[in-house]
Structure 1
């Protein structure tokens, strides 16, 4: 019997949860899909061992952890792992620590200042962070995640790729933007392979980004010691692309 089947999912939701807007069935499906992406990425990185303990993962970082949509599945799938919950939302971090026995770490806007341990994690899951970052933040965050990994550790992060471009260009989803913002994202994707549009009234670097696969690969190659292992199109909830990287040294 698999580790996932042996461990019951903790279904408790935070009273501050905002990601259940499409209903609980979708909410939990997204979490399960993240765990599936993690398993596939670990296999691609050669992390399979024996059947009784299929993945050699003892330390995990979930950033941004939000209110636990994914971390509940990481706890189910890796019941003995030390899992760090990190986010700028303190209430989200506190909820994950209390509910899923996670190590709480309060994040910061500047990636170099995020107080997570260096050279420590077997797995770093980054769900829907790069989907909000402008281009100049990518290298900084990828470098920070590379530093957090142990040598041989695995980073899995998600992006808005070709499918998201189709949704934007057809206005199927609005991603928090008006039609003008969606048209700008689609235009930049077509012309440069990357686009970013800030949310209206938001003063920080936060917005929506879209990135072509080759553009993302170039960003990974620019980080010393970080190697691309796998790119899976719309692997997360049949929407966002998943990139698996491994720290070489």
Structure 2
């Protein structure tokens, strides 16, 4: 997923040509990308040069990808990925379409939302698509180094750093929608309540908190997970090697355990629990913290 030695000479030659002969530089970068579809150096250069063969020319979004993005590497090394960059960009598009379905079921069309916080936004896999739907209305937060600067520079969003301690987060304001895709799925259950309270506190009156958990049926019947009497299990591993595994691993829980955690933290029940709403097996849960 990085610059392969076999292409390093071509990449270097293209760099040297950028200022004096951008067309030839673009041709060289495209030649590398055709043979090495996951080469971010080549793809980002095409974006920077506004080359007509760049992804953003037809996707109509910002297609710059930060090379530190663990999710890009995770998608690109998956068994079904043959074009890592295109697959990564398409995955964000998929999240947008899945979220729009969830929002419609809440009778709150995404295009009419006044303010939206994407929490745990990473390096913009989804953000780049969201800002096209909600220009000037999106905020992002994450802990990954450099991610918030990248989000501000590339996507023009309000961006602030999160923390491993939810009580330490300073939310600039409250938002009509707070969306947290696949974070509880990685956090130990002992901290779930603290995070749910923090997110709920960032929701504006009348707004909604949407987050995801692993679908119990998929865990049991497709992945073969066997729960003990606690209905919960934590594995110290994830797709993000940049984060400490005991803080950010893989968190598995039955639906009854999830519901109990919500009631304990927020004293309420979901207004929507949509099974397998995201990806292959992530349930979407929506809460109205203020009734």
Task: Give me the TM-score of the superposition, normalised by structure 1.
Answer: 0.78
The partner residue of 1:127 within 169, 173, 181 is: 181
C-alpha displacement of 1:71: 0.9
How many pairs does the alignment contain?
219
Which residue does the alignment assign to 2:64? 12
Residues 1:198 and 2:236 are matched in the alignment: yes
Alignment of 1:20-169 (within 5 A): 20=72, 21=76, 22=78, 23-48=84-109, 55-81=111-137, 83-118=138-173, 120-162=174-216, 163-169=218-224
Structure 2 unaligned spans of 5+:
1-58, 79-83
Counterpart secondary structure, 2:235: strand
Structure number with higher strand proportion: 1
Residues 1:239 and 2:277 are matched in the alignment: no
Contact 2:98 2:277 in 1 (8 A): yes
Measure, in 1, the Cα distance between the counterparts of 2:144 and 2:130.
19
Measure, in 2, the Cα distance between the counterparts of 1:193 and 1:77.
39
Contact 2:136 2:157 in 1 (8 A): no
C-alpha displacement of 1:227: 4.5
Point out which structure has higher relative CO (alpha carbons under 8 A, 6+ apart): 1
Measure, in 2, the Cα distance between the counterparts of 1:34 and 1:129.
15
Identify if the C-alpha distance between structure 1 residues 242 and 24 changes in structure 2 by more than 3 Å, giving closer, same or farther.
Answer: farther
Measure, in 1, the Cα distance between the counterparts of 2:142 and 2:246.
16
Contact 2:117 2:140 in 1 (8 A): yes
Deviation digits for residues 161-199 of structure 1 (CA, Å, limit 9, x no counterpart) = 221444432xxxxxxxxxxxxxxxx33x35332211223
Contact 2:121 2:140 in 1 (8 A): yes
Please give the root-mean-square deviation of Cα atoms over the aligned residues, in Å.
2.4
Contact 1:226 1:248 in 2 (8 A): no
C-alpha displacement of 1:129: 0.7
Structure number with higher helix proportion: 2
Contact 2:270 2:286 in 1 (8 A): yes
Contact 2:96 2:129 in 1 (8 A): yes
Task: Give me the TM-score of the superposition, normalised by structure 2.
Answer: 0.68
Measure, in 2, the Cα distance between the counterparts of 1:213 and 1:27.
29
Identify if the C-alpha distance between structure 1 residues 66 and 203 changes in structure 2 by more than 3 Å, giving closer, same or farther.
Answer: closer
Counterpart secondary structure, 1:222: helix
C-alpha displacement of 1:225: 6.5
Pick the structure with greater CA Rg.
2
Identify if the C-alpha distance between structure 1 residues 55 and 226 changes in structure 2 by more than 3 Å, giving closer, same or farther.
Answer: farther
Identify if the C-alpha distance between structure 1 residues 10 and 204 changes in structure 2 by more than 3 Å, giving closer, same or farther.
Answer: same
Counterpart secondary structure, 1:143: helix
